[in-house]
């Protein structure tokens, strides 16, 4: 179906692999549209409970935008293309299911921004992260100036974006940009284990928890607490809540149905 990525589903987990290894999996305009199509397929498939992103090869998750295409950007094209890419990355961030970025190498520019749009990020020891756009006379346009400070804090986000310095896996772990570093050959297995752990929980509780945490930086504390209380109450009205409590009291494993 796709030229620049692969998409498959196995055991309820969707796997999207950026497949442009000759260009270190850089983001071209055609890949943006394929990402949108693949994510829409995930949205339409109730059988998919988790989604994992990774890159083809062993060097790069996504090493930024396609510089050949970037060369032709002017104001009008730049506005149109960044708006479109933000739309696609927002679609990923707003999925009702959690997503995992399994970062197998360079995550630079648009690649860092794709990872930032995911719910959870893990990486290999060789991974490198950066926002190098100022080196090209531009600034990030696909979400880094907004999502990066929300995840690693104002100071380090400013440092990465203004200096264009790359950070390594250990630094990313210390900053909370990733939550786990795993050996290169175990990356997808580790991502799958996390996915299956989340899938063992009640689906609606996972969705509501993801929604609530995602709103934490979008609103005031009082409004955020209101959202949390409402979603907690909504979870209390589910069959899975009754099953979870009964299973706990009966000291048995719960059987969740997503209802």
The set of catalytic residues is: 113, 133
Residue by residue, DSSP assigns 147-175 as HHHHHH-HHHHHHHHHH---EEHHHHHHH
Q: What is the DSSP letter of 142?
A: S
Report how far residue 255's alpha carbon sits from residue 11's, in angstroms, rounded to the nearest whole number.
Answer: 17
Greatest alpha-carbon pair distance for the chain in Å reads 65
- Buried/exposed 15-47: b ≥16 CB within 10 Å, e otherwise: bbbbbbeebbbbbbeebbebbbebbeebeeeee
Q: Which residue is associated with the tokens 């069959």?
A: 239
Report how far residue 141's alpha carbon sits from residue 82's, in angstroms, rounded to the nearest whole number.
Answer: 5
User: Could you report how far apart the first and last alpha carbons of the chain are, in Å?
Assistant: 33
Report how far residue 131's alpha carbon sits from residue 111's, in angstroms, rounded to the nearest whole number.
Answer: 9
Cβ proximity of 7 and 15 under 8 Å: yes
């Amino acid at each position: 179906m796709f030229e620049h990525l692969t998409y498959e589903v196995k055991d309820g987990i969707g796997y999207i692999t950026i497949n442009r290894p000759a260009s270190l999996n850089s983001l071209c305009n055609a890949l943006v549209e394929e990402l949108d199509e693949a994510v829409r397929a995930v949205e339409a498939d109730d059988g998919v409970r988790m989604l994992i992103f990774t890159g083809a090869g062993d060097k790069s998750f996504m090493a930024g935008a396609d510089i050949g295409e970037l060369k032709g950007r002017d104001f009008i094209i730049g506005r149109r293309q960044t708006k479109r890419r933000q739309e696609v990355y927002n679609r990923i961030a707003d999925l009702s299911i959690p997503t995992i970025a399994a970062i197998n190498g360079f995550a630079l520019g648009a690649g860092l921004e794709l990872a930032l749009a995911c719910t959870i990020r893990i990486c290999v020891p060789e991974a490198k992260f950066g926002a190098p756009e100022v080196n090209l006379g531009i600034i990030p346009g696909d979400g880094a100036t907004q999502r990066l400070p929300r995840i690693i804090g104002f100071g380090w986000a400013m440092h990465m974006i203004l200096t264009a310095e790359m950070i390594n896996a250990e630094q990313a772990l210390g900053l909370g940009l990733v939550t786990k570093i795993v050996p290169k050959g175990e990356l997808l297995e580790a991502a799958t284990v996390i996915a299956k752990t989340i899938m063992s929980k009640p689906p609606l509780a996972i969705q509501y928890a993801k929604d609530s945490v995602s709103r934490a930086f979008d609103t005031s504390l009082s409004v955020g607490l209101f959202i949390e209380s409402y979603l907690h109450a909504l979870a209390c009205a589910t069959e899975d809540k009754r099953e979870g409590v009964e299973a706990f009291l009966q000291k048995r494993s719960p059987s969740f149905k997503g209802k």
